Structure 1
Amino acid sequence: MQEIVELASSRPRVLEFFAGIGLARLGLESSGFRVAWANDYERDKMSMYRSQFGETSGDADFFFGDIASVSADQLPQGASLAWGSSPCTDLSLAGSRGGLRAGESSAFWHYIRLLRDLGESRPEVAVLENVVGLATSHGGDDLAAAVRAFNDLGYSVDVLTLDARRFVPQSRPRLFLVAAKNPPKSENAAPSELRPAWLQGVYSDPTLRTHRAPLPKPPELLLEGFGAIVEAMPDSDERWWDRSRADLFEASLSPVQAARVAEMKRSEQVVYRTAYRRTRKGIPVWEVRPDDISGCLRTARGGSSKQAVVKMGGDEILVRWMTPLEYARLMGAGDFNLQETRTNQALYAFGDAVAVPAVDWLGRNYLMPLIRRKVEHLNEEERAVG
Structure 2
Amino acid sequence: MRTVPKLAAVREQTALPLEPMAVEFFAGIGLARLGLQQAGFRVAWSNDIEPAKRDMYAGNFKDPEESHTFVLGDVTHVRGSDMPADIALAWASSPCVDVSLAGARAGMQGARSSTFYQFTRVLRELGEDARPEVVTLENVVGLATSHGGEDLAAAIAELNDLGYSVDVLTLDARWFVPQSRPRLFVVGARNAPPDQPDANPKLRPEWLQAPFADRSLVTHRALLPDIGPAAVGTLATIVEPVPSGDKQWWDPERTAAFTSSLSPVQAERLAVLRKSNRFAYRTAYRRTRKGVPMWEIRADDIAGCLRTARGGSSKQALVEVGRGKLRVRWMTAREYARLMGADDYELDGIRANQALFGFGDAVCVPAVAWLAEHYLMPLVEGKLQEKPVLDSTSEVADAGA
TM-score tier (shorter)? over 0.9
1:157 maps onto 2:166 in alignment:
yes
CA contact (8 A) 1:41 1:65 kept: yes
| 177, 194, 200: which one aligns with 1:185 | 194
Structure 2: tracts of 5 or more residues without a match: 1-16, 386-401
Distance apart, 1:374 and its partner CA: 7.6
CA contact (8 A) 2:193 2:384 kept: no
Secondary structure in structure 1 of the residue aligned to 2:209:
helix
1:62 maps onto 2:41 in alignment:
no
| 12, 21, 33: which one aligns with 1:13 | 21
1:46 maps onto 2:46 in alignment:
no
- What corresponds to 2:212 in structure 1? 203
Secondary structure in structure 1 of the residue aligned to 2:112:
helix
CA contact (8 A) 1:52 1:336 kept: yes
Distance apart, 1:290 and its partner CA: 1.0
Distance of aligned partners of 1:295 and 1:222 in 2 relative to their CA distance in 1, 3 Å threshold: farther
CA contact (8 A) 2:342 2:365 kept: yes
- What corresponds to 1:138 in structure 2? 147
1:295 maps onto 2:309 in alignment:
no
Alpha-carbon distance in structure 1 between the residues aligned to 2:130 and 2:49 = 25
Distance apart, 1:350 and its partner CA: 0.3
1:115 maps onto 2:152 in alignment:
no
Distance apart, 1:192 and its partner CA: 3.0
- What corresponds to 2:105 in structure 1? 97
Alpha-carbon distance in structure 1 between the residues aligned to 2:78 and 2:205 = 36
Alpha-carbon distance in structure 2 between the residues aligned to 1:348 and 1:222 = 28
CA contact (8 A) 2:375 2:384 kept: no
CA contact (8 A) 2:48 2:74 kept: yes
Aligned positions, number:
368
Distance apart, 1:334 and its partner CA: 1.0
Distance apart, 1:375 and its partner CA: 11
Greater mean deviation of Cα atoms: 304-313 or 124-133: 304-313
Distance apart, 1:10 and its partner CA: 5.4
- What corresponds to 1:247 in structure 2? 256
| 325, 340, 344: which one aligns with 1:335 | 344
Distance of aligned partners of 1:327 and 1:77 in 2 relative to their CA distance in 1, 3 Å threshold: same
Amino acid at match of 1:64: L
Secondary structure in structure 2 of the residue aligned to 1:304:
coil
Distance of aligned partners of 1:318 and 1:187 in 2 relative to their CA distance in 1, 3 Å threshold: closer
Alpha-carbon distance in structure 1 between the residues aligned to 2:230 and 2:138 = 20
Secondary structure in structure 2 of the residue aligned to 1:178:
strand
Distance apart, 1:219 and its partner CA: 3.6
Matches within 5 A, 1:320-331: 320-331=329-340
CA contact (8 A) 1:157 1:179 kept: yes
Distance apart, 1:303 and its partner CA: 3.4
Distance of aligned partners of 1:202 and 1:348 in 2 relative to their CA distance in 1, 3 Å threshold: same
- What corresponds to 2:371 in structure 1? 362
Cα shift readout 1:123-177 (whole Å, capped 9, x = no counterpart): 0000000000000000000000000000000000000000010000000000000
Secondary structure in structure 2 of the residue aligned to 1:104:
coil
- What corresponds to 1:194 in structure 2? 203
CA contact (8 A) 2:18 2:40 kept: no
Secondary structure in structure 1 of the residue aligned to 2:180:
coil
RMSD over equivalenced CA pairs, Å: 1.8
- What corresponds to 1:238 in structure 2? 247
Amino acid at match of 1:372: E
- What corresponds to 1:382 in structure 2? none
Amino acid at match of 1:265: R
Secondary structure in structure 2 of the residue aligned to 1:105:
coil
Amino acid at match of 2:317: A
Alpha-carbon distance in structure 1 between the residues aligned to 2:54 and 2:167 = 30
Secondary structure in structure 2 of the residue aligned to 1:36:
strand
- What corresponds to 1:344 in structure 2? 353
- What corresponds to 1:215 in structure 2? 224
Distance apart, 1:55 and its partner CA: 5.6
Greater mean deviation of Cα atoms: 366-375 or 45-54: 366-375
Alpha-carbon distance in structure 2 between the residues aligned to 1:187 and 1:12 = 26
Distance apart, 1:187 and its partner CA: 3.7
CA contact (8 A) 2:175 2:232 kept: no
Alpha-carbon distance in structure 1 between the residues aligned to 2:144 and 2:64 = 37
Distance of aligned partners of 1:73 and 1:318 in 2 relative to their CA distance in 1, 3 Å threshold: same
Distance apart, 1:222 and its partner CA: 6.6
Q: Percent identity?
A: 57
Amino acid at match of 1:87: P
Distance of aligned partners of 1:10 and 1:248 in 2 relative to their CA distance in 1, 3 Å threshold: closer
Secondary structure in structure 2 of the residue aligned to 1:370:
helix
TM-score by length of 1: 0.92
Distance of aligned partners of 1:225 and 1:38 in 2 relative to their CA distance in 1, 3 Å threshold: same
CA contact (8 A) 1:223 1:292 kept: no
Secondary structure in structure 1 of the residue aligned to 2:24:
strand
- What corresponds to 2:92 in structure 1? 84
Distance apart, 1:66 and its partner CA: 0.6
